[in-house]
């Protein structure tokens, strides 16, 4: 049985810019060969059993020869596999997608080309530079700045390029920016033509240098720009002063460590990206349901309790999974009041068709215990929680005259050992600006992952906690809490992170944007 190859455009970097079709096909693939410029988080859309192979190329360094990539595509397809070839930007615009498609056609392999948002279109938009504008440019020309190996000069007619009135976009030309600018000027382009270089467009690490055409090379060198980068030349660059929307986001440029379990981290990572940050996912704990008779017995005997209490979404899901396992459904809980520690836990119940009768306003275990006693004095409570959970809720209920049966619904496990080295490395180099902590167990997991140097390493990042209980766990380790969420929820955590980032970065970020707008050649890179 013959397979198929999908040549998928990954977009320019921001993982949200992949097309719906591209994301859908990634989920079907048996094998994915991906490039360096495809955002790593896009691989989360692949199947758990998919074979992932990096075949990236960066700055002329060929990790995998093109002939080997072509052969691998044919080999996997002939073996009946569904193959994804994930390429940065668009597969056909200044890329090798057309060559790969021709090779597949010559070998009788079925393929589909899935267009992607091209890097010049996206990078310029994220830099606040429209490529065309009725008052500034009615055309745009895309050029490659990297001639084909062995061909000598790039072959562009600079005499004609210099006199055209539209926008010029040069891809892969950073190493030749001085030569390109000089040739345009020599053939008549005014020296004061506005120009910009956009590094890593649409990534949270995006940097933009603006300068006159004759000063552009020096400005890039002074800013230490590297690839991948796009050169934009023309009057449209002037509009950036008003349209630089991406860098104005409150967490732009910050790299934030997300310590939550991978299955639960999606919403937080998405929200961080919306605010301009780059989430770095490194789960310091993993959760696993406890499949034993105690959990099933508690669910089977649910009518013996007045209240079923859940202090985490994990506990709620584990209890409801046990319900289904016993051949029951949501109707089985009709005679029991359901209590949730906060909105995230209440949402976990709602996903299974159940509405929480009680939700703690303070989103803490002791607050939920007090809420239960107010609504149901001397209540009989079944608490579904982690194996090593805190006893604050049981203590509150028991002191108030109620009864509590603690049911182990899941357990937390330490992070995989292979996580430690890259995390220590990034913290050592000061590459992480903030660390988000969602529970005391996440704090314990982080300590175990980092080892005896944890305090030293974490002193270089802002530790932001979801609530007082988690903050107490941080302080118990001797670490400093930069901020605690006022409302103990994911959105509250993000708000606390934004407030911390504003205090540290807004003033510097504003001044760097002002320098860029003035055309002085400064890099638009906020301090974090």
What DSSP line would sit under 51-75, residue for residue?
EEEE--EETTEESS-HHHHHHHHHH
- Residue 353 Cα distances to 310, 329, 347, 498, angstroms: 16, 9, 10, 34
| Whether 337 is catalytic | no
Contact predicate 486/495, CB 8 Å: yes
Q: Give the separation between CA 394 and CA 372, rounded to whole angstroms.
A: 11
Angle at 69 between CA 67 and CA 70, to 5 degrees: 65
| Whether 35 is catalytic | yes
What DSSP line would sit under 298-339, residue for residue?
HHHTGGG-SEEEESSHHHHHHHHHHHHHTT--GGGGTTSEEE
The SS3 assignment for 443 reads helix
Q: Which residues contact 106 (CB under 8 A, 6 or more apart)?
A: none
Q: Which residues contact 100 (CB under 8 A, 6 or more apart)?
A: 7, 69, 70, 73, 85, 91
Give the rounded distance of the alpha carbon of 480 from its chain centre.
Answer: 25
CA torsion, ordered 415, 451, 465, 315, to nearest 10 deg: 30
Contact predicate 305/381, CB 8 Å: yes
- Which one of 14, 35, 90, 444 is the catalytic residue? 35
- Which one of 30, 57, 296, 321 is the catalytic residue? 57
Angle at 57 between CA 199 and CA 216, to 5 degrees: 25
The SS3 assignment for 280 reads strand
Of the candidates 112, 118, 88, the residue with the CA atom closest to the CA atom of residue 25? 112
Contact predicate 467/488, CB 8 Å: yes
Q: Which residues are catalytic?
A: 35, 57
């Amino acid at each position: 049985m013959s397979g198929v190859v999908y040549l998928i455009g990954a977009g320019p970097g921001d993982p949200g810019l992949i097309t719906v079709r591209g994301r859908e096909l990634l989920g079907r693939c048996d094998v994915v060969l991906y490039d360096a410029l495809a955002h790593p988080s896009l691989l989360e859309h692949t199947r758990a059993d998919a074979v992932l192979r990096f075949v990236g190329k960066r700055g002329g360094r060929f990790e995998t020869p093109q002939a080997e990539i072509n052969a691998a595509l044919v080999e996997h397809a002939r073996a009946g596999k569904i193959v994804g070839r994930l390429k940065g930007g668009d597969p056909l615009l200044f890329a090798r997608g057309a060559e790969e498609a021709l090779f597949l056609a010559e070998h009788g392999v079925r393929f589909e080309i899935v267009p992607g948002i091209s890097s010049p279109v996206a990078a310029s938009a994220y830099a606040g530079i429209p490529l065309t504008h009725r008052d500034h440019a009615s055309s745009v020309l895309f050029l490659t700045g990297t001639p084909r190996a062995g061909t000598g000069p790039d072959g562009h007619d600079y005499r004609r390029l210099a006199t055209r009135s539209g926008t010029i976009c040069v891809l892969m030309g950073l190493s030749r920016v001085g030569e390109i600018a000089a040739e345009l000027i020599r053939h008549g382009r005014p020296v004061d033509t506005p120009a910009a270089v956009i590094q890593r467009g649409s990534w949270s690490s995006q940097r933009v240098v603006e300068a006159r055409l004759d000063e552009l090379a020096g400005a890039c060198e002074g800013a230490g720009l590297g690839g991948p980068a796009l050169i934009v030349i023309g009057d449209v660059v002037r509009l950036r002063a008003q349209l630089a929307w991406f860098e104005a986001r409150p967490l732009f440029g910050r790299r934030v460590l997300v310590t939550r379990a991978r299955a639960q981290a999606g919403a937080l990572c998405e929200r961080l990206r919306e605010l301009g940050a780059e989430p770095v996912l490194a789960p310091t704990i993993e959760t696993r349901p406890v499949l034993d008779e105690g959990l099933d017995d508690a669910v089977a005997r649910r009518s013996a309790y007045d209240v079923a209490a859940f202090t985490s979404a994990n506990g709620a899901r584990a209890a409801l999974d046990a319900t289904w396992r016993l051949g029951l459904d949501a109707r089985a809980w009709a005679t029991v009041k359901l209590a949730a520690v906060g909105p995230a836990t209440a949402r976990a119940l709602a996903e299974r068709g159940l509405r929480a009768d009680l939700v703690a306003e303070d989103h803490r275990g002791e607050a939920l215990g007090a809420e239960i006693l107010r609504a149901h004095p001397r209540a009989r409570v079944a608490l579904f929680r982690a194996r090593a959970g805190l006893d604050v809720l049981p203590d509150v209920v028991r002191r108030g005259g109620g009864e509590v049966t603690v049911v182990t619904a899941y357990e937390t496990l330490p992070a995989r050992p292979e996580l430690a080295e890259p995390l220590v490395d990034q913290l050592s180099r000061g590459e992480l600006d903030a660390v988000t902590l969602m529970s005391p167990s996440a704090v314990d997991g982080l300590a175990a992952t980092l080892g005896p140097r944890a305090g030293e390493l974490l002193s270089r990042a802002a530790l932001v906690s979801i609530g007082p209980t988690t903050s107490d766990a941080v302080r118990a380790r001797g670490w400093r809490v930069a901020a605690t969420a006022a409302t103990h929820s994911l959105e509250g955590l993000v708000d606390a992170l934004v407030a911390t980032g504003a205090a540290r970065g807004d003033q510097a970020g504003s001044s760097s944007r002002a320098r860029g707008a003035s055309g002085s050649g400064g890099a638009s890179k906020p301090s974090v």
